[in-house]
Amino acid sequence: MNHNIETQNKKKADLNYIKWMKSILRRSEEVGKLELPITAIILDKKGRCIGRGSNKRETKNDPLGHAELIALRQAAWLKNDWRFNECSIIVNLEPCTMCAAALIQARMGQVIYGADDNKRGGFGGTIDLSKHKSAHHKMNVIRGILDDECEKKIKIWFKKLRNQK
């Protein structure tokens, strides 16, 4: 019985993440005109969006202008708290090592992402910081939400960039 409820809740949660990922991918189309098309959103424990960020590295000449960090700042401002144990972040690409470390510092409860990043990823793509001894809290990491679609969009973007050069 309990197991059934758990399975049902998990299914509901997965569908919800897919819905958010679709909205992230739509938003990334717009972002992709100027930046690497990455968007991140942060949900509170009730599943409400409390932060959103897209890459701003080029437009602001900011090496820290990653989608996840921008979303974190906005959500922390709204929450009036830097702790995110009850929250989830959803992003279309595996967070880089800088963002993964920031999410650990923020004690993010859950990290959900689409495509793996085998060049810069901080949750297993290169190193898994969520399992590193510097991570002092329990973090739930869910990979591969709409991963094919996420990966395809980023590949197309890089291909376009190469063609422009």
Length of the chain: 165
Q: Does 99 sit near Zn ion (CB under 5 A)?
A: yes
Q: Which is nearer to Zn ion, 99 or 146 (CB)?
A: 99
Helices (H), 83-135: 97-105
8 A C-beta contact, residue 54 and residue 28 = yes
Tokens representing 91 are: 């992003």
Q: Which is nearer to Zn ion, 99 or 108 (CB)?
A: 99
Q: Which of 17, 20, 39, 66 binds Zn ion (CB under 5 A)?
A: 66
Tokens representing 68 are: 């996840």
Q: How many residues bind Zn ion (CB under 5 A)?
A: 3
Q: Which stretch binds Zn ion (CB under 5 A): 20-28, 45-53, 95-103, 150-158?
A: 95-103
CB of 104 to Zn ion, least distance (A): 13
CB of 19 to Zn ion, least distance (A): 24
Q: Which is nearer to Zn ion, 15 or 64 (CB)?
A: 64
Q: Which is nearer to Zn ion, 66 or 153 (CB)?
A: 66
- The sign of the torsion formed by the CA atoms of 14, 95, 84, 19 equals negative
Q: Which is nearer to Zn ion, 72 or 96 (CB)?
A: 96
CB of 53 to Zn ion, least distance (A): 10
Tokens representing 31 are: 């972002």
Q: Does 71 sit near Zn ion (CB under 5 A)?
A: no
Query: Residue 79: is it exposed, middle or buried by C-beta count within 10 angstroms (0-12/13-18/19+)?
Result: middle
Q: Is 55 helix (H, G, I), strand (E, B) or coil?
A: coil
Q: Which of 96, 111, 150, 154 binds Zn ion (CB under 5 A)?
A: 96
What is the C-alpha end-to-end distance of the chain, expressed in Å? 59
List interacting residues with Zn ion (CB under 5 A): 66, 96, 99
